[in-house]
């Protein structure tokens, strides 16, 4: 199977991983090799990825030694923004050839600001200025406090990756926040955005409830919630970006905010390890994959073309069946957002702690 089959279906392949070793390496898993051979046209990062990349890694030791006399927050900011800037440079040709659609690298604002609108706006502007690359995207969580920050940053001409979206309802609010920013932007043709809709965590949470129920009707629904949720999100994407509100912005050169399928690594070994890729292919989408998922798709993924729009009715049936079992997707997605914000903040604290220890050595 060729990764080009995924791209032909309209889905851009981004890698959900970054480290200095990957940027400068020459092995098949290095970023230059992934760009050349694996169809990778963008990168996403998050606090957990940076924590795993930097803690104890030799390639950061010399920089940390030079930054012993600055605060640990400033040290981490320097390490992460340098990596993202270098990654942006690796993707510059793709950014140019795709006219800004791909070739993107995302960096998240400090996750401890998830409940702070003004702080998120300030942090987003600062990261945009420090990295200073047109193919950068600033990641902002889709919390209620994050939504006005999305609007403000988009209005300023800053490209944004809205992250930690779990529910279709919240996704609608994300699109509205993006459109409000585009309407306020002086030149919207310069702005791009993706909406990171999380997938596998939905199945992990819902499957646990279904197994607790244990009925034949419940067990029949195992592994169906996440893909159905994503399919209905795409249906909303199609509706919103066909609206009169959006059509008015097309005349100003505005670009659709693409759905980005995130958390696409399969967590249950009982499931096919490519399912959150091959079942989510459609025009104007992105799939950001962990390294193992990308390798699985390359090795044995079976791409059947576009796999979303013909499944809307089936997705609605899944939601109705879950509701009949008294399983509330709203309750599940609310808890997942809280947990997602918490885990990223914990990862960031862990990174700060490990870098502080390295500064003291």
Q: Judge whether 276 and 261 are in contact, CB under 8 Å.
A: yes
What phi and psi values does residue 255 have, to the nearest 5 degrees?
-110, 140
Between 168-184 and 146-155, two packed helices, what is the crossing angle to 10 degrees? 30
**What sign does the dihedral 216-337-85-287 (CA atoms) show?**
positive
Helix and strand numbers, DSSP H then E, in the chain: 18, 8
Q: Judge whether 172 and 147 are in contact, CB under 8 Å.
A: no
45 Rama sector, left if φ>0, alpha if ψ -120 to 50, beta otherwise: beta
Q: Judge whether 313 and 290 are in contact, CB under 8 Å.
A: no
Q: Is 139 a catalytic residue?
A: yes
Q: Is 15 helix (H, G, I), strand (E, B) or coil?
A: strand
The secondary structure of 139-157 as a DSSP string is EEE-STTHHHHHHHHHHTT
Selecting among 8, 77, 78, 139, the annotated active-site residue is 139
Nearest to 191 by CA among 129, 258, 130: 258
67: which 2 tokens? 């930054």
For residue 210, count other CB atoms closer than 10 A to its CB: 23
Bridge partners of 15, per DSSP, are 43, 289
d(CA 188, CA 23): 31
Work out whether strand 160-165 and strand 136-141 pair parallel, antiparallel, or are unpaired: parallel
d(CA 148, CA 151): 5
90: which 2 tokens? 């690796």
Catalytic site positions: 139
């Amino acid at each position: 199977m060729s990764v080009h089959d995924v791209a032909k279906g309209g889905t851009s392949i981004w890698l959900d991983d970054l480290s200095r070793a990957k940027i400068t390496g020459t092995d098949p898993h290095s970023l230059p090799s992934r760009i050349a051979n694996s169809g990778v046209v963008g990168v996403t990062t998050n606090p957990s990825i940076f924590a795993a990349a930097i803690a104890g890694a030799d390639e950061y030791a010399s920089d940390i030694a030079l930054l012993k006399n600055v605060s640990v927050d400033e040290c981490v900011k320097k390490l992460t923004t340098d990596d993202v800037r270098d990654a942006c440079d690796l993707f510059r040709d793709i950014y140019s050839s795709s006219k800004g659609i791909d070739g993107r690298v995302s960096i998240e604002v400090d996750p401890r600001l998830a409940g702070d609108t003004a702080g998120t706006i300030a942090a987003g502007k600062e990261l945009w200025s420090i990295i200073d690359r047109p193919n950068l995207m600033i990641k902002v969580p889709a919390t209620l406090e994050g939504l006005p920050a999305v609007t403000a940053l988009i209005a300023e001409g800053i490209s944004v990756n809205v992250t930690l979206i779990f529910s279709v309802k919240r996704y609608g609010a994300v699109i509205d926040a993006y459109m409000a920013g585009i309407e306020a932007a002086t030149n919207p043709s310069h702005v791009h955005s993706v909406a990171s809709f999380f997938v596998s965590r939905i199945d992990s949470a819902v499957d646990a409830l279904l197994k607790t129920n244990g009925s034949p009707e419940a067990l029949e629904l195992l592994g169906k919630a996440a893909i159905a949720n994503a399919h209905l999100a795409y249906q909303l994407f199609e509706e919103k970006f066909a609206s009169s509100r959006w059509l008015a912005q097309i005349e100003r050169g505005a670009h659709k905010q693409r759905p980005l399928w995130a958390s696409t690594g399969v967590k249950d070994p009982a499931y096919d390890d490519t399912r959150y890729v091959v079942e989510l292919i459609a025009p104007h989408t992105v799939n950001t994959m962990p390294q193992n998922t990308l390798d699985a798709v390359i090795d044995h993924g079976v791409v059947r073309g576009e796999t979303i729009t013909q499944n809307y009715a089936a997705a609605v049936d899944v939601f109705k069946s879950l509701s009949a079992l008294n399983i509330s997707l709203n309750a599940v997605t609310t808890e997942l957002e809280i947990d997602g914000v918490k885990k990223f903040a914990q990862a960031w604290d862990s990174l700060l702690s490990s870098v502080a220890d390295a500064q003291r050595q």
